[in-house]
Amino acid sequence: MELRLRNTLEEIPRLLDGVEAFVEGLEGDPAPGPATGPRLGLCLDEAITNVISYAFPEGGDHEIIVSLIPNGDEVIAEIIDDGIPHDPLARPDPVHVEATLEDRPIGGLGIHLIRKLSRSVAYRHEDGKNHLTFHIAY
């Protein structure tokens, strides 16, 4: 399945609707578990929110392409955008989950969630575009 989104946060509800419909339509053995849809939706929301917020400093209309492919006991998700080159995995995970309430920074959680909820996540810059790919287990 492919979803084409505009670079505005108003597209996030449509993204989450699309993910729900996609996961409901997955059939066969193995079948996705109850956590598959919520995990997939969350990881896509976090990654795409980052793209929308930071990849287009000069604004303008851009298209973000999301493809979702069933692969055995997992879904492979790929997000492609034509924004400025940005590897969200370049920096080490900034979130220290042991920190106390006072010491917890407000932010940095999005990429932490993607790392923890996916089996693997990878970034590449190809043909002038950012590609972020991650695998969500059933």
Partner 1 sequence: MNLLEKGYVTMTVTVENADGIQVVVLEGRLDSMNASSVEGQLNGLVTAEHNRIVVDMAKLDYISSAGLRLILVMAKQVKQVGGKLVLCGMQSHIREVFEISGFLSILTVVETRTEALTSAV
Which positions touch partner 1 (CB under 8 A)?
9-10, 12-13, 16, 34-35, 38-39, 41-42, 45-46, 49, 95-102, 104, 106-107, 109-110, 112-113, 116-117
To partner 1, the closest distance from the beta carbon of 128 in angstroms equals 26
Query: Min. distance of Cβ 46 from partner 1 in angstroms?
Result: 6
What the block records as the tokens of 23 is 């996961």
Nearest distance from residue 43's CB to partner 1, in Å? 10
How many Å apart are CA 118 and CA 120, to the nearest integer?
A: 5
Cα-based torsion angle of the residue sequence 67, 77, 110, 65 in order, rounded to the nearest 10 degrees: -20
Nearer CB in complex with partner 1: 39/74: 39
**Which CB atom, from 107 or from 128, has the smaller least distance to partner 1?**
107
Q: Give 5 or 68: the residue with its C-beta nearer to partner 1.
A: 5
49, 110 in Cβ contact below 8 A?
yes
Residue identified by tokens 């996705």 is 32
